[in-house]
Structure 1
Amino acid sequence: MMLLQVTGLLLAGLVAGGLNAVAGGGSLITYPTLLAVGVPPLYANATNGIAVAPAYAAAAFGSRDNLSGQRRRALTLIPTAFVAAICGTILLLNTSHAVFENLVPFLVLAATLLMAVGPWVNRKVTALNGGRALHPVALHIGVGLGCLYGAYFNAALGLVLLAVIAMSLTESLARIGALKNFCTFIVGVVTVVVYGLFADVAWWAIGVLIPATFIGGYVGARVFQHLPERPLRIGIIVYGVVLSAILLVR
């Protein structure tokens, strides 16, 4: 049975890493797979949060050049992202299994809808570039809410932060993406420390998912990039809607 569980998680990690490299939405693959191999919903969520954290670190490191000229802005966002992520983890740790299990279908559906508006977000970024930025407080409010959500339920965190940062700044997509990666890195650090110390997580599953998602991301960046993104995104959206419906009625 353990071999079957490891194989399932390995395949899920490879697929999730590849999807994240192209269209995003990898957590919509890894989270339900954790449920399928027997990890309870609350523990599966914390486990998934730790498993994806190294990928956040890699993305932040890879986009560090686009933080040039944004050092002060990034530094001022650290307390906002950190406190919000802490609040998100505390909220999860104080959520009962029954309540979280009832919330999961709606959280999955919300993440799926965010996948659906991803292209619109990109167009919004392009339209806002060169326009008038919102008040800096708007950026902190948006990042704070995004990091709170991401620490509580990881799926589609990148899309949430991309949207709120894009609507608050007049920067290129690459620079906004770098700031987004910086914030997700902070969320990743917080979730690893807090959930690693205080949550019941499946470390064996984390050990399988981390290398699998990295390999999947590498392969996806080199191979999946030749595939059209739109069908992949539509497939993830359909999968997410069906999954949320199954979780709602089970």
Structure 2
Amino acid sequence: MTVLEVLLLLLAGVGAGALNAVAGGGSLLTYPALLAVGVVPLHANATNAIAVAPAYTAAAIGSRQGLRGQRRRVLGLVPTAFTAGLAGTILLLNTPHHLFEDLVPLLVFVATALVAVGPWINRRVMALNGGRALHPIALHLGVGFGCLYGAYFNAALGLVLIAFISMCLPEALSRVGALKNAMTFIVGVVTTVVYGIFADIAWWAIAVLVPATFFGGYVGARLFVRIPDRPLRIGIVLYGFVLSVILLLR
């Protein structure tokens, strides 16, 4: 591995960690970087899932302030996130590589659209529901779908979780993001264990990406809690639509 390849992986890792902490989509940086340094596509996908997992850990640590008062909610969602994440890894290990790549642009676009209309839907739902949060089952279904998708293919995992969580809970976006980071941490643990055992991994690339994604995830999470809701949501929506177009073109 050359110095240029190491530098490419380091930059991709820091950028991916920060993006995953804020909105998701960091795999759009790390996956192509792995391909560029010579990792074959199938191995790059599994390697990427493990490489971005430390960023989820760092993001969860960095946004722990936003989890104050949500301890019971987080503990209740852990089994859902774990089960869905495990199902996603099993699905990926038994699915042709090209199939999930074809689905990603549509999934990212839908998730971004949900983030864009999330506040309006949230207000309508809360009005119909007397201003209260939706039934916990709705939150579990949304988190379960997001974690299954994230274990299957990491791109825009954060967008999906933010969209569903923000529609189910009358919380500030920073608190929604903190809950999202806790759930992506669970996904990261599951994918690391399953793919580490059953998939072919480029461990030499992991050694470069892990510290980079961890650092990027912590920095991104710290910035997340300092940005007001409206500009943050606008930024996430614009980023998501651009991401979906890029994925479609690829």
Residue matched to 1:241: 245
Aligned residue for 1:167, secondary structure, equals: helix
TM superposition score normalised by structure 2: 0.79
Aligned residue for 2:187, secondary structure, equals: helix
| Root-mean-square deviation over aligned CA pairs | 3.1
Post-superposition shift, 1:85?
0.5
Q: Which amino acid aligns with 1:55?
A: A
Post-superposition shift, 1:68?
2.6
Post-superposition shift, 1:28?
1.1
Post-superposition shift, 1:182?
1.2
| C-alpha spacing 1:85/1:20, structure 2 compared with 1 (3 Å) | closer
| C-alpha spacing 1:20/1:35, structure 2 compared with 1 (3 Å) | same
CA distance in 2, matches of 1:109, 1:35: 22
Post-superposition shift, 1:120?
4.3
Q: Which runs of 5 or more residues in structure 1 are unaligned?
A: none
CA distance in 2, matches of 1:78, 1:219: 24
Residue matched to 1:111: 108
Post-superposition shift, 1:162?
1.1
1:100 is aligned to 2:97: yes
Residue matched to 1:209: 209
> Counterparts in 2 of 1:4-15, with a 5 A limit?
4-15=4-15
> Counterparts in 2 of 1:156-175, with a 5 A limit?
156-175=156-175
Post-superposition shift, 1:16?
2.8
| C-alpha spacing 1:115/1:209, structure 2 compared with 1 (3 Å) | farther
CA distance in 2, matches of 1:208, 1:104: 25
Residue matched to 2:186: 186
Post-superposition shift, 1:5?
3.0
> Counterparts in 2 of 1:58-207, with a 5 A limit?
58-95=58-95, 99-108=96-105, 110-111=107-108, 114-115=111-112, 118-121=115-118, 131-207=131-207
Structure 1 contact 16–30 (Cα < 8 Å) conserved: yes
| C-alpha spacing 1:113/1:34, structure 2 compared with 1 (3 Å) | farther
CA distance in 1, matches of 2:56, 2:219: 17
Structure 2 contact 21–56 (Cα < 8 Å) conserved: no
| C-alpha spacing 1:218/1:59, structure 2 compared with 1 (3 Å) | closer
Q: Which amino acid aligns with 1:103?
A: F
Structure 2 contact 119–167 (Cα < 8 Å) conserved: no
- Identical columns (%): 62
Q: Which runs of 5 or more residues in structure 2 are unaligned?
A: none
Residue matched to 1:44: 44
CA distance in 1, matches of 2:82, 2:138: 17
1:102-134 deviation per Cα after TM superposition (whole angstroms, max 9, x unaligned)? 431431453366456645446766887893322
Count matched residues. 240
CA distance in 1, matches of 2:182, 2:219: 23
CA distance in 2, matches of 1:162, 1:203: 31
Aligned residue for 2:39, secondary structure, equals: coil
| C-alpha spacing 1:30/1:242, structure 2 compared with 1 (3 Å) | same
